[in-house]
Amino acid sequence: MAKIKTKFVCTECGTESPKWMGKCPGCGEWNSMVEERETAHKAQAASRAFQTQEKPKAIIHIEGGSEPRIETRMRELNRVLGGGVVPGSLILVGGDPGIGKSTLLLQTSHELAAAGRTVLYVSGEESVRQTKMRADRLGALHERLFVLCETNVEAIGEAIEQVQPDFLVIDSIQTVYEPSVPSAPGSVAQVRECTAWFMRAAKIRGIATVLVGHVTKEGAIAGPRLLEHMVDCVLYFEGERHHSYRLLRAVKNRFGSTNEIGIFEMSEAGLREVANPSELFLSERPLGVSGSTVAASMEGTRPVLVELQALVAPTMFPSPRRMSAGIDHQRMALIIAVLEKRLGLFLQNQDAYLNVAGGVRLDEPAVDLAAAVSLASSFRDAPARPYDVIFGEVGLTGEVRAVSRAEQRVKEAAKLGFKRVIMPERSMRGWKPPEGIEIIGVGSVEEALSVALG
């Protein structure tokens, strides 16, 4: 019998150790070392699988040109991927259980099949009949869409040889296994080896491959961190369970920008694209209520108008509470400190809550000014004008700094019928505002509050 070797591997950074340790010596994470068993047979099989017949070439002799992309009928998905699916790319899609990952990929597979592409959908969690039932509900039936219920990588390879697909979906990577690896499916060794196998198949045969990954309770994709480094693109499918809206966000993309988001709405017939997210996020906005403002944010190349809601109320505790949803908590504390120091608002005995309506998360500093106006509006109980749009970055000295792509934000506000925009005065240079909307440039938070709440 082949000698079995035991080692311990860190799930975060891949550091190997002959014995278990509570703290990884490579990355410093606690309780991240897991046991793996390796045989000589497995090592030889892996070495043979990684052999290639290609030889090194001088880079000046390699033919260039951009890869032709496979466009889907979902424009939101094309936007996140950078214009479409690149042949031979390896894409990892993660998200909470039941969020709609399988629904999104089954709809995408149907659309690609309807466009003349051959698609192989491999499910390790559902039987063929269960997948057919879901396809009937979604209307995703086509003769070029092939479905397979299999978890053995070698059997999946035989199906690939038989079908010769242009697009491959593995749902999910934690359920498949390599027979030569003596570990259970979903373990670190199995996930790493199976992902490497699909990566080789995608690169050698030019098959666009999508891997569905489970997530942990912290929201990260389960398995070793090496998994995200091996793939070309990492997408997260996000959304609240109590909302019907879903956000597809790119965390890593070798063929496009990581700042784009796609917005979908979950319905009985599957996922539906949201063409105008600004109108969606503002559909239930109350008018004439203190603490409510509209901010203009950029999500990649798309301007999005969202509602910010603030509530400032007297506290009953020695230390006031500071809570935020959709905005970084530290950024909110910074804005409150600026309001206290530069404008004299006494918020030390007030609880402050800040929320972005609709479940979207805003990361750019251009929403600072709208957040400051919302907090001051709730503290003074003075509502802002219902048809104002506010954006700008707030500095520690109370100044309002310029932001990028101000023209696109203003055009989006004018398209949705807003009458006035309060923005940094330095961002008003070099472009002409559209007709029918008033532009007010401000240089400080105090000036912005006098205009918005005066």
- 7 labelled ligand-binding: no
- 102 labelled ligand-binding: yes
Q: How far is CA 5 from the centre of its chain?
A: 39
- 101 labelled ligand-binding: yes
- 319 labelled ligand-binding: no
Q: How many CB atoms lie within 10 A of CB 259?
A: 16
Phi, psi dihedral angles at 220 (to 5 degrees): -90, 155
- 288 labelled ligand-binding: no
- 97 labelled ligand-binding: yes
Which of 341, 340, 343, 443 lies closest to 401, judged by CA?
Answer: 443
Specify whether the CB–CB gap between 156 and 150 falls below 8 A. yes
What CA–CA distance (Å, rounded) separates 292 from 173?
44
- 99 labelled ligand-binding: yes
- 96 labelled ligand-binding: yes
What CA–CA distance (Å, rounded) separates 123 from 226?
23
Q: Which residue has the tokens 């120091």?
A: 341
Specify whether the CB–CB gap between 401 and 424 falls below 8 A. yes
Annotated binding site: 95-102
For the annotated binding site for ATP, the residues are 95-102
